[in-house]
Amino acid sequence: MCGINGVFHTGNKKVQYSSQVEGMNIALQHRGPDDSGVYSDENISLGHQRLAIIDLSSDGHQPFLSVDEKFVIVYNGELYNYQEIKRQLKDYPFQTNTDTEVILAAYIALGQDCVKLFNGMFSFAIWNKEQKELFIARDRAGIKPLYYSIQESCIVFSSEIRALLASEEVPRKLNKSVLPEYLQYQTVHAPKTIVENVNVLLPGSYMRIRGNKIIIEKYWEPTKCINPNVLTHSKKQVTDKVAQLLTESVERRMISDVPFWAFLSGGIDSSLIVGLMSKINTKPVNTFSITFDDQKFSEAKYSNIVAKHFKTNHNEIQLKVENFIDELPNALARMDHPSGDGPNSYLVSKATKKAGITVALSGLGGDELFAGYSIFKQALDVNSKSYLNKVPVNLRKLFGQLYARTASGVSGEKIAEVLSLSKISTRYLYPTYRKTLLNSQVNILSGAKSAEKISLLGQFAPLNRKTDLPLLSEVSIYELSTYMQNTLLRDTDQMSMASALEVRVPFLDHQLIEYVLSVSDDIKYPLTPKSLLTDSFKGLVPDEVIYRKKMGFVLPWTKWLKNELREFCVDRMESIEKRGIFEGGVVIQLWNSFLKNDPKVSWSRVWHIVVLEDWLKRNNIEA
């Protein structure tokens, strides 16, 4: 796991960018403290920071050149099937045991189609010296990030936004057009970011650049991988296949030249991962969990049940709730893109790395694939109420407004928004479900009806071509392409790599994703928590874990913001007020509503504004 950088001049002049890329490397040292390198050619410089996981020798030094020195690669990630691909590429004279060289050899043999062979998490760039072409690609699920900015005479790319800014080729300017979106969802959805003219290469995409010609294409789209034959499979066939695919996925992700561990929260997903690792490994699996001295926030009871059940080498990393307060400035300083989440992931990653762990397997993705959130059942419920579309919109809107006045909290407002939609269906419901601030609140902050102009429906454009997609699979795609992609994976990457910790996610193996999305709703329906997943591994995980109440990673944020963090929050709220990007006085009004326990303004509805200002300050972003 590493960090990559590059600057490519797209004009006619001869320009050297080695000093800029060296500065970008410095900005990425936390991602790869084991080695650093820069390659420069006519009009291009490539940079790399290395975290050694596979082949720890100097053979893994990057930028990496092909045997004939006609191709150069910088690569961030892990390719789990690289040995299999290596055996297929018999004509290439391999000099190392690295997966880096396998990617380069596959590109030399197959060109852009090489990505179709790869099973892993990756972003990489390959420079073709003879054709003067740059090829950049990103993995299917978007586990590893790739940001880029197209300037007047060059294109700059990196694993992190901060490195783009460090190049001094990218202006430090706020992207005001996405502010309403950030307010609504605590994040900005790809391909846009919070910085003007900085984009994200979408998952399952590649980019080809020759001169000033830039081509971006998708090589993988989950909706195009649905297998209609799976809809006819029996429950036994489905559970057998799910068990096979997830087992193979875990086995692939246990390949490492450094010790690997598993994060064990005591929930279904992480417990299953540990169970499969225990079946695969002949030695006891190394597991760790984060525990708290305050039992209200600790899941130690369940993680210990699982650890004893599988006889793992279990380690508890104990934290005090107060540790979060102490570490908060460090967590915010490590944030590459502002987010309403993240500090939790930072502290867990830091404590994990401090315990000597470099690679950890995670259960991320299990909820999104196997209907683990409440939205999945809500979607089926909404789908059964299609008769509401026969009621005129204005009448539905009026009823919603009346309901919102009588209901306390945010739920009434959300129901009112749903009833006022032009069409009541899952596709239109989902964007409302994931909102932090409601349309009315965003409109007050922005001083215009900007909230109504924001739509996540564009993220779901490929679904418009699929009429035979199971409804629960449709919701999974919403989750995979929005919340998971732009919040969970982004936060996991930026906060784990802040401590040079590699996190592997078996549930996001593309073969598993493709199969589970093809399963019918009848088989996938969560009669019990993630029943398809647990039925596929009956008897593997103790019942106490399967039927326990879902806890999540909950901390006393409301108390902190009103007490220990109050001064910190007020300072940033007043500071962002002075920027003039929101209506005068409205930010402070929102903060005061939170302090007065307004049920429609919880801590999460002000915290992401505090984080935004902190990030703008730290990165000297001009509003």
Cα(59)–Cα(341) distance, integer angstroms: 38
Q: Using alpha carbons, select from 201, 208, 158, 194 the residue that is nearest to residue 20.
A: 158
Beta carbons of 577 and 588 less than 8 angstroms apart = yes
- The alpha carbon of residue 415 and the mean position of all alpha carbons in its chain are separated, in whole angstroms, by 28
Identity of the residue numbered 59: D
Cα(495)–Cα(352) distance, integer angstroms: 12
Q: Using alpha carbons, select from 251, 4, 30 the residue that is nearest to residue 135.
A: 4
CA distances for 30 relative to 14, 25, 245, angstroms: 32, 10, 34
- The alpha carbon of residue 49 and the mean position of all alpha carbons in its chain are separated, in whole angstroms, by 21
Residue 2 among the catalytic residues: yes
* Catalytic option among 2, 114, 154, 569: 2
Cα(66)–Cα(248) distance, integer angstroms: 31
Which residues fall within 8 angstroms of residue 8, CB to CB, at 6 or more apart? 43, 44, 134, 154, 155, 209
Cα(233)–Cα(594) distance, integer angstroms: 51
- The alpha carbon of residue 497 and the mean position of all alpha carbons in its chain are separated, in whole angstroms, by 13
Provide the token pair at 236.
């036994």
Neighbours of 414 (CB within 10 A): 19
Quick one: the chain helix, strand, coil %, rounded to 5? 50, 15, 35
Provide the token pair at 414.
């959300």
Cα(378)–Cα(468) distance, integer angstroms: 20
Cα(30)–Cα(32) distance, integer angstroms: 6
Which residues fall within 8 angstroms of residue 329, CB to CB, at 6 or more apart? none
Provide the token pair at 277.
């690792």
Phi, psi of 312 (to 5 degrees): -85, 165
* DSSP characters over 311-350: T-EEEEEEE-THHHHHHHHHHHHT-SS--SS-HHHHHHHH
Looking at residue 297, what DSSP letter applies? G
Cα(275)–Cα(372) distance, integer angstroms: 19
Catalytic residues: 2
